[in-house]
Structure 1
Amino acid sequence: MKFVIITGMSGAGKSQAVKCMEDLGFYCVDNLPPILISKFVELCRQSQGDIDKVALVIDIRGGMFFDDLFASLDSLKSTGHQCEIMFLDASDESLIKRFKETRRKHPLSTDGGIGDGINKERQRLKELKEMATNIIDTTRLTPGQLKEELRNIYLEGNETDNLIIYVTSFGFKHGIPLDSDLVFDVRFLPNPYYIEELRDFTGKDKKIREFVMNSPISIEFSNKLYELTSFLIPHYIKEGKNQLVISIGCTGGKHRSVTIAHVLYYRLKEEGYRTILTHRDESLGERKKD
């Protein structure tokens, strides 16, 4: 089991970091008292392998319990678990600016002086920083750049595993899916609705897919759609996106959109992307069996 201790200066970006680690597949716990680490390890063992990567945010908010961290880390390492320390830091000027922007009091500031609280925290965290596996200075990092940095350090295996692509069909007359990232209108393709013997079937049926795809326009469009999404997906992954919703719509959401979504889904699956196919409006109304 792998453990990453997220710690560092208050205001340096630990809250943002733990969100990123969750996106990378880590089970995250914020502000866990160090004395409870051993008990938490036992709970993880009971998951029978469901939890194999853990990120724990432990910092000076723990107050008197924070001093138990070193003993708890020694105990964790003695059990054979892999343990790393990620220390987030930033310049004093940047930290002061962030505290002023959020109008929050520094946890070690007794008289309200942010600078004094920062100095005390640096002294208290000096030894822990020296033990750190990775030190990340967030002074000039945007949230997106911090996420990219964490991906570079902690991402294991195929980076596409962290992007889930949802390909969904829908009908414009029922509204565009609100969570769409990309929307494509296929109402210009041949419409089976006007063929009486095909009207009550859907794009899940082979006869409908054959009708729609028996057109040079449909073939050319599906190829161009695949080329476009194949171009965009690596850039979304680089940006740190973990969910992409591609919505394909026709008038009612039963024939053309279902067919094109079906074609795109299988092509993306063949490329190894984690892809989920849904048809929002396909089941509306009665449907014959093929």
Structure 2
Amino acid sequence: MLHIDIHSFSYKKGGIPKDETGNGGGFTFDCRGILNPGRVEEYKIQTGNDIGVQEYLETKTEMPKFLELIKSLVSINIDNYLERGFENLQINFGCTGGQHRSVYSAIRIAHFIEEKYGNQVEISLHHDEQHHLNISNE
């Protein structure tokens, strides 16, 4: 079974999450090139899990294109890792505060992987700055 750890994190606060499996690999995607909804007053206290922030990212930024490219990249590795019997993959999404863009990206990619691969994988979703949003399907 392939276990996929997905993290959202803050470059300013905690930095890139350490790979606890010992693999020392995986993906880290920098979301700071996407327009930040945290600079819009009504979204400042919200997260990437909130509808308003999600709609902003989907309609006013390049986030949909960004995530489509990421889906293609991670699918290549997941397909290969499943075929070769690998057990761990880590996928990280970072932004300035670990609140909006990275949270949204991590959630969307977790849903994509779950829909595409189903019970072939176990997904753990970690929001390093937004602990109240953490879930796992283990």
TM-score band by shorter chain is 0.7 to 0.9
Q: 1:260 aligns with which of 93, 102, 105?
A: 105
Q: 1:178 aligns with which of 7, 10, 18?
A: 18
CA–CA separation in structure 2 for the residues paired with 1:216 and 1:249? 16
In structure 2, the residue matched to 1:198 is 43
Q: Which amino acid aligns with 1:163?
A: L
In structure 1, the residue matched to 2:7 is 168
CA–CA separation in structure 1 for the residues paired with 2:125 and 2:53? 17
CA–CA separation in structure 2 for the residues paired with 1:263 and 1:248? 11
Q: Which amino acid aligns with 1:241?
A: F
Q: 1:12-68, CA deviations, whole angstroms, 9 ceiling, x for partnerless residues?
A: xxxxxxxxxxxxxxxxxxxxxxxxxxxxxxxxxxxxxxxxxxxxxxxxxxxxxxxxx
> Any conservation in 2 of the 1:168–1:247 contact (CA below 8 Å)?
yes
CA–CA separation in structure 2 for the residues paired with 1:190 and 1:212? 8
CA–CA separation in structure 2 for the residues paired with 1:222 and 1:181? 16
Q: How does 1:271-290 map to 2 (within 5 A)?
A: 271=116, 272=118, 273-283=121-131
Partner of 1:193: helix, strand, or coil?
Answer: helix
Q: Which amino acid aligns with 2:3?
A: I
2:34 aligned with 1:189: yes
Q: TM-score scaled to structure 1, two decimals?
A: 0.40
CA–CA separation in structure 2 for the residues paired with 1:215 and 1:197? 15
CA–CA separation in structure 1 for the residues paired with 2:28 and 2:85? 20
CA–CA separation in structure 2 for the residues paired with 1:218 and 1:260? 8
By how many angstroms is 1:190 displaced? 1.5
Structure 2 unmatched ranges of 5 or more: 20-24, 133-138
Q: Which has the larger radius of gyration?
A: 1
By how many angstroms is 1:215 displaced? 3.6
Higher relative contact order (CA 8 A, sep 6+): 2
In structure 2, the residue matched to 1:214 is 59
CA–CA separation in structure 2 for the residues paired with 1:220 and 1:181? 21
> Any conservation in 2 of the 1:187–1:251 contact (CA below 8 Å)?
yes
RMSD value, Cα: 1.7
Aligned length, in residue pairs? 123
CA–CA separation in structure 2 for the residues paired with 1:191 and 1:201? 12
In structure 1, the residue matched to 2:96 is 251
CA–CA separation in structure 1 for the residues paired with 2:34 and 2:51? 17
> Any conservation in 2 of the 1:254–1:283 contact (CA below 8 Å)?
no
Q: Residues 167 and 191 (structure 1 numbering): CA distance in 2 closer, same or farther, change over 3 Å?
A: same
By how many angstroms is 1:277 displaced? 1.5
> Any conservation in 2 of the 1:202–1:208 contact (CA below 8 Å)?
yes
Structure 1 unmatched ranges of 5 or more: 1-161, 285-290
Q: TM-score scaled to structure 2, two decimals?
A: 0.81
In structure 1, the residue matched to 2:136 is none
In structure 1, the residue matched to 2:135 is none
Partner of 1:197: helix, strand, or coil?
Answer: helix
By how many angstroms is 1:216 displaced? 5.5
